[in-house]
């Protein structure tokens, strides 16, 4: 009977201590002066390390082996991270903060690029370190730039595609209004009309910015300031809200992430479906799919023509702390070369960043969505390029979610979004 | 924290029993105890140093950070610059729900910022804690009573009860996410079309149900341990005296199991106040299911120092709750154990 008395303070202390220590691991904040590190090691050659998330489709290892065979004195070591984006981000941040010279080249998600650039962690790709981007899709280059300077080389791209039922819709809609008119077809067949991803998470930022950009608005202006108090932004978000209201978007779509919406479309319950290219393979091969030979693909609908997809994908950057930047640059060029890009597409189904590959007959045969994806990416707008991305995406998600559920008017949601993003830019 | 973590393990053997029993036997014994104490201190030193490194240092570091401003953007270069000392501004901002403005002042945080969620997250955390701990205590007690009985297949039942507890929380959350899917089994079973993760109270109940399912076994096991310490003779005596089943439960089981029950409730309460995985995976914090821990994690991605301030606030809140438990209910535990000790003799 003594034990509880003795256990209590110790156990309490222990449990409490864990609460706090779990949060203390962040280290000393992210501040740098940049400058000097970016000038060092520009001519350095020697072994380097390439850091990327889990290599699910086994593309990195063969590439690295190929590079190493050709460059015995400048070998690349592959450091594989987890397959969770948040963990990859935090791992990179920790190594940058420690000024680790062993993280030479890394794969950087599109939405982290501005943050890392503003922290002074990524080597600006200019002068001696310049990379030729002429052959690349312009939107992918924009997604790798911050303040008009290229900070990373685009590695692979991704854009939204409108999947539709070609057995029910002979020609796909070009504009949002056309699509909404076709919803009567869905009603006749007793299925839902349209769905993207509307749960409160990153996918909602993608869908809401697509709606706003497609209507001619934008989340941030050229200077990175929010620009949401516009008629275009109102029309864009309003389109989604109205579609929810009149049932064109089924009410359960408010709980959809990518997979839930894909399942709904694949089981034949949706006429139109916005999703990423990965859906194509599953929809035509999975046994449970009811849309195998009824699957059509088109560019996202916009105001007068193709809509503005949100851009996904990865860039490759060079750490300012790397000692062998000349080797790193060569490796960057190797990754963005046509040969490697083709390999990425065939082996890993990763959409290339080089424009001409989208018209390559052999590739199109293997990945039939490439022509549609090309239109999508050509019209794509990178998700807001800002070093405050986490705060910006939070503001978009929370307020557009409230608007979609009808808890808030579109005007109120946009004005709250505007104000939230303004305070985010002001620091904390 | 530092002072509590430090000395307690050293003192433990001294108050733990053996030295006290041997105490009155002679001077030689006293010396032996002294040198034993020294030895104990030396033997425990590595553990204490390890604890200091992994627990005390991060806590102090977090507190120091919480008094620093987060890095701001230099508009000319577009690069981040160090924030400098902030005083208690980070704390004030959280509690008053104030956000910085581009001009340099502060305004009430607009909806869509993390700063606007502090009080709602606190409320949500306490709602979750109170409801889940209550449900888990009641159900756990009931399960423990069943497991304490002698019947065929008892060990099978005990093992089966443990299954939910053995599954990692993240996996549990994913399982329940499938169950609460619009086309999922929860809706099919009740022939309903509830948007479980899409509106406020269903989302809250989804989290509560999943948490109760997962952690009731923990409660049940701790209570079972307490039940098994009650000697069977006490019940026999009560039966002989003609006590009814309800009287036996109220007058014997409940008081005797109380110390174990209190420890179990304390553990669960502190754990529930830190709830993170379930709401994070089930709802992503939408529909007012953001707990304080989720808020801390989201803030870490936007600025370490404000996050450090928030985690310190969370720490203080949990500390106060723990203090209340140990002070008021914990004092009870001591009294009870003393009383029953005498009673048994």
> Which residues on chain B are in Cβ contact (under 8 Å) with A416?
110-112
Distances (CA, A) of B57 to A31, B3, B60: 22, 13, 5
Q: Specify the pLDDT at position A57.
A: 80
Q: Are B40 and B16 in contact, with CB atoms under 8 Å apart?
A: no
User: Between residues B216 and A23, which one has the greater pLDDT?
Assistant: B216
Q: What is the pLDDT of residues B264-292, one digit of tens each?
A: 999 999 999 999 999 999 998 999 999 99
Q: Which domains does chain A have, with CATH numbers?
A: 15-158+313-381 (3.40.190.10), 161-309+384-426 (3.40.190.10)
pLDDT over 90 at B169, yes or no: yes
Tell me which residue of A50, A44, A103, A107 sits closest to A75, measured CA to CA. A50
Q: Which residues of A touch B12 (CB under 8 A)?
A: 6, 10
Q: Which candidate in B8, B61, B69, B79 is best for mutational testing of the A interface (most A CBs within 10 A)?
A: B79
Residues 6+ apart with CB under 8 A from B171: none
Q: Do residue B99 and residue A423 have CB atoms under 8 angstroms apart?
A: yes
Categorize the per-residue pLDDT at B91 as very low, low, confident or very high, splitting at 50, 70 and 90.
very high
In chain A, residues 391-420 whose CB comes closer than 8 Å to chain B: 391, 394-396, 398-399, 401-402, 405, 416-417, 419-420
Q: What does the pLDDT average to over B70-89?
A: 85
Nearest-by-Cβ selection for B284 from A4, A201, A396: A201
CB < 8 Å from B in window 244-273 of A: 251-252, 254-255, 260, 263-264
- Per DSSP, the residues of B284-338 read TTTTTT--HHHHHHHHHTT-HHHHHHHHHHHHHHHHHHHHHIIIIIIHHHHHHHH
Residues 6+ apart with CB under 8 A from B334: A5
What pLDDT score does A27 carry? 37
What pLDDT shows up at residue A217? 94
**Interface TM-score (ipTM) > 0.90:** no
CA distance B306 to B92: 11
Q: Which of A307, A302, A310, A275 is nearest to A389 (CA)?
A: A310
Q: What is the mean pLDDT of residues B148-166?
A: 88
Closest alpha carbon within chain B to A148: B78
**In chain B, % of residues over pLDDT 90:** 58
Query: What are the CB-based long-range contacts (under 8 Å, 24+) for A180-185?
Result: A180/A243, A180/A248, A182/A271, A182/A272, A183/A248, A183/A271, A185/A271
Considering CB atoms only, which of A6, A29, A387 is closest to B73?
A387
Residue B67 has pLDDT above 70, yes or no: yes
Grouping H, G, I as helix, E, B as strand and the rest as coil, residue A142 is helix
* Tens digit of each residue's pLDDT (9 = 90 or more) over A62-99: 999 999 999 999 999 999 998 888 889 989 999 999 99
Are the C-beta atoms of residues B303 and B57 closer than 8 Å to each other? no
Sheet arrangement for strand A192-195: A192-195, A270-275, A161-165, A295-298
Higher pLDDT pick, B1 / A377:
A377
Would you state the pLDDT for residue A222? Answer: 82
Smallest CA-to-CA distance from A93 within A69, A116, A63 is with A116
Angstroms from B264 CA to nearest CA on chain A:
10
Q: What does the alpha-carbon distance between residue B128 and residue B171 come to, in Å, rounded to a whole number?
A: 20
HSE (CB half, 13 Å, CA atoms) of B231? 8
User: Which of A19, A264, A267, A385 to substitute to test the interface with B, most B CBs within 10 Å?
Assistant: A19
Q: Which residue of A has its CA nearest to B72?
A: A427
- Give me the pLDDT at residue B332, please: 53
Percent helix, strand and coil across chain A, each rounded to 5?
A: 50, 15, 35
Could B311 and A19 be called an inter-chain contact, meaning their C-beta atoms sit closer than 8 Å?
A: yes
Give B341 or A385, the one with higher predicted confidence. A385
Cross-chain residue pair B198–A252, CB shorter than 8 Å: yes
Check whether A401 has a pLDDT greater than 80. yes
Torsion of CA B294, B299, B301, B302, to 10 degrees: 160
Spatial separation of the C-alpha atoms in residues A154 and B344, rounded to whole Å: 77
pLDDT exceeds 70 at position B19: no
For residue A388, what are the contacts with CB-CB under 8 A and spacing of at least 6?
A: A115, A421, A424, A425, B73, B302
Closest-CA distance of chain B to residue A315, Å: 20
- Minimum CA–CA partner of A263 in chain B: B183
pLDDT score, position B105:
81
pLDDT at B336 over 60: no
- What is residue B132's three-state secondary structure? helix
Is residue B345 classed exposed, middle or buried when 0-12, 13-18 and 19+ CB atoms within 10 A define those classes? Answer: exposed
- A265-274, B266-275, B331-340: segment of lowest average pLDDT: B331-340
- The residues, ordered by sequence, that sit 6+ positions from B77 with a Cβ below 8 Å of its Cβ are none
Gap between the Cα atoms of B9 and A14, Å rounded = 12
Tell whether A32 lies on the interface with B, counting CB pairs under 8 A: yes
The region of weakest confidence among A43-57, B207-221, B261-275, B329-343 is B329-343
Task: Please state the rounded mean pLDDT for residues A241-245.
Answer: 97
Whole-number average pLDDT of chain B: 85
Strands A48-52 and A105-109: parallel
Instruction: Evaluate if residue B26 carries a pLDDT over 60.
Output: no
Look at residues B129, B197, B211, B227 and name the one whose alpha carbon lies nearest to residue B164.
Answer: B211
Sequential DSSP letters for B65-122: HTTBPPPEEETTTTEEE---B-TTHHHHHHHHTEEE-TTSSEEEPPBTBGGGGHHHHH
Return the exposure string of A221-252: e unless at least 16 CB atoms fall within 10 Å of the residue's CB, then b.
eeebebbbebebbbbbbbbbbebbeeebbbbb
When pLDDT is cut at 50, 70 and 90, the band that residue B5 belongs to is very low
Confidence of residue A223 (pLDDT cuts 50, 70, 90): confident
| Identity of the highest mean pLDDT range in A22-26, A85-89, B233-237 | B233-237
Whether pLDDT at A236 is above 90: yes
Length of chain B: 345
**Is the pLDDT assigned to residue A406 strictly greater than 70?**
yes
Alpha-carbon distance A417 to A393, whole Å? Answer: 10
Distance from A91 to chain B by nearest Cα, in Å?
Answer: 12
pLDDT band, residue B74 (cuts 50/70/90): confident
Q: What is the pLDDT of residue B1?
A: 36
pLDDT at A234 over 60: yes
Q: pLDDT category, B116, cuts 50, 70, 90?
A: very high
Average pLDDT over residues A38-55: 90
Helix, strand or coil, per DSSP, at residue A297:
strand
Crossing angle between the packed helical segments B200-228 and B169-179, to the nearest 10 degrees: 130
> CB distance B107–A423 less than 8 Å?
yes
User: For A390-410, what is the mean pLDDT?
Assistant: 95
Q: Which of B174, B158, B163 is nearest to B210 (CA)?
A: B174
B66 band by pLDDT with thresholds 50, 70 and 90: very high
| Angle A18-A22-A24 from CA coordinates, rounded to 5° | 115
Measured between beta carbons, the chain A residues lying within 8 angstroms of B274 are 19
Q: Could you tell me the pTM of the whole model?
A: 0.84
- So what's the pLDDT on residue B3? 38
To the nearest whole Å, the CA of A42 is away from the closest chain B CA by 21
CA distance A303 to A317: 35
Residues A143-195: pLDDT tens digits? 999 988 999 999 999 999 999 999 999 999 999 999 999 999 999 999 999 99
What pLDDT, on a 0 to 100 scale, did the predictor assign at position B295?
A: 96
Confidence of residue B183 (pLDDT cuts 50, 70, 90): confident
pLDDT above 50 for A32: no
Q: How many A-B residue pairs are in contact by the CB < 8 A criterion?
A: 246
Beta bridge partners, A108, equal A315
Residues of B in contact with A405 (CB under 8 A): 198-199
Contact A345, A357 (CB under 8 A): yes
**CB contact, 8 Å: A56 with chain B?**
no
The pLDDT-based confidence of B7 (bands split at 50, 70, 90) is very low
Question: pLDDT tens for residues A272-289?
Answer: 999 999 899 889 888 899
Block residue for tokens 């606190």: B122
Nearest to B4 among A13, A21, A390 (CB): A13
On the question of pLDDT at B16 being above 50, the answer is no
pLDDT (tens digit per residue) in B241-254 = 999 999 999 999 99
- Confidence bin at B27 (pLDDT 50/70/90): low
Q: Do B260 and A252 touch (CB under 8 A)?
A: no
Residue carrying the six token digits 């990965």:
A278
Burial of B166 (0-12, 13-18, 19+ CB in 10 A): exposed
| pLDDT of A5 higher than 50 | no
Interchain CB distance below 8 Å, A426 and B330? no
CB A28 within 8 A of CB B65: yes
Residue A226 pairs in a beta bridge with A220
């Amino acid at each position: 009977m003594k034990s509880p008395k003795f256990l209590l303070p110790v156990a309490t202390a222990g449990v409490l201590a864990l609460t706090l220590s779990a949060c203390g691991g962040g280290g000393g904040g992210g501040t740098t002066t940049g400058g000097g590190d970016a000038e060092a090691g520009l001519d350095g050659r020697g072994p380097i390390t390439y850091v990327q998330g889990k290599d699910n489709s086994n593309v990195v290892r063969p590439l690295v082996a190929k590079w190493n065979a050709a460059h015995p004195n400048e070998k690349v070591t592959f450091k594989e991270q987890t397959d969770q984006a948040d963990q990859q981000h935090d791992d990179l941040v920790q190594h940058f903060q420690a000024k680790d010279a062993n993280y030479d080249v890394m794969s950087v998600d599109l939405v982290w690029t501005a943050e890392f650039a503003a922290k002074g962690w990524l080597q600006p790709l200019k002068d001696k370190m310049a990379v030729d981007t002429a052959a690349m899709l312009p939107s992918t280059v924009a997604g790798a730039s911050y303040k008009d300077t290229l900070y990373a080389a685009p590695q692979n791209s991704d854009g939204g595609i409108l999947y539709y039922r070609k057995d029910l819709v002979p020609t796909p809609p070009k504009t949002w209004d056309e699509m909404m008119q076709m919803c009567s077809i869905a009603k006749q067949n007793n299925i839902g009309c349209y769905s993207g991803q509307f749960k409160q998470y990153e996918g909602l930022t993608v869908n809401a910015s697509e709606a706003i950009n497609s209507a001619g608005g934008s989340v941030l202006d050229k200077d990175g300031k929010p620009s949401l108090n516009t008629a275009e932004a109102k029309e864009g978000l309003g389109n989604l809200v109205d579609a929810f209201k009149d049932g064109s978007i089924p009410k359960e779509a408010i709980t959809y992430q990518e997979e839930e919406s894909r399942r709904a479309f694949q089981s034949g319950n949706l006429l139109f479906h916005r999703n990423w290219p990965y859906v194509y393979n599953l929809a035509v091969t999975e046994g449970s799919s009811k849309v195998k030979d009824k699957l059509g693909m088109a560019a996202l609908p916009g105001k007068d023509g193709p809509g503005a997809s949100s851009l996904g994908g990865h860039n490759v950057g060079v750490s300012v702390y790397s000692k062998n930047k000349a080797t790193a640059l060569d490796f960057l060029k190797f990754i963005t070369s046509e040969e490697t890009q083709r390999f990425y597409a065939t082996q890993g189904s990763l959409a290339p960043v080089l424009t001409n590959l989208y018209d390559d007959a052999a590739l199109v045969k293997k990945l039939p969505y490439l022509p549609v994806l090309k239109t999508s990416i050509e019209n794509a707008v990178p998700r807001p390029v800002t070093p405050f991305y986490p705060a910006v995406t939070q503001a978009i998600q929370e307020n557009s979610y409230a608007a979609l559920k009808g808890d808030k008017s579109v005007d109120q949601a946009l004005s709250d979004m505007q104000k939230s993003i303004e305070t985010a830019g002001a620091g904390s | 924290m530092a002072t509590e973590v430090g000395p307690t393990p050293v003192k433990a053997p001294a108050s733990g029993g053996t030295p006290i029993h041997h105490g009155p036997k002679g001077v030689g014994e006293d010396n032996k105890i002294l040198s034993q104490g020294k030895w104990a201190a030396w033997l425990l030193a590595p553990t204490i140093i390890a604890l200091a490194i992994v627990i005390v240092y991060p806590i102090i570091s977090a507190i120091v950070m919480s008094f620093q401003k987060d890095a701001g953007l230099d508009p000319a270069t577009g690069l981040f610059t160090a924030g400098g000392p902030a005083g208690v501004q980070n704390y004030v901002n959280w509690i008053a729900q104030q956000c910085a403005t581009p001009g340099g002042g502060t305004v009430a945080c607009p909806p869509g910022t993390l700063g606007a969620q502090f009080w709602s997250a606190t409320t949500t955390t306490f709602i979750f804690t109170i409801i889940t701990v209550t449900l888990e205590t009641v159900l756990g007690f009931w399960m423990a009573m069943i497991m304490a009985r002698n019947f065929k297949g008892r060990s099978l039942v005990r093992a089966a009860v443990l299954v939910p507890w053995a599954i990692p929380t993240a996996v549990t959350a994913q399982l329940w996410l499938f169950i609460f899917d619009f086309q999922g089994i929860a809706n099919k079973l009740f022939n309903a079309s509830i948007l479980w993760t899409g509106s406020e109270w269903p989302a809250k109940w989804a989290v509560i149900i999943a948490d109760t399912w997962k952690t009731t076994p923990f409660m049940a096991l701790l209570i079972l341990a307490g039940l098994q310490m009650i000697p069977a003779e006490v019940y026999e005596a009560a039966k002989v005296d003609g006590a009814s089943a309800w009287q036996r439960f109220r007058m014997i089981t409940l008081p005797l199991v109380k110390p174990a029950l209190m420890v179990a409730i304390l553990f669960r309460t502190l754990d529930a106040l830190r709830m993170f995985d379930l709401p994070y995976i089930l709802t992503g914090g939408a529909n007012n299911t953001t707990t304080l821990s989720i808020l801390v994690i989201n803030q870490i991605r936007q600025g370490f120092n404000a996050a450090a301030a928030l985690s310190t606030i969370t720490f203080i809140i949990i500390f106060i709750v723990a203090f209340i438990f140990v002070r008021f209910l914990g004092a009870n535990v001591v009294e009870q154990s003393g009383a029953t000790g005498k009673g048994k003799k």
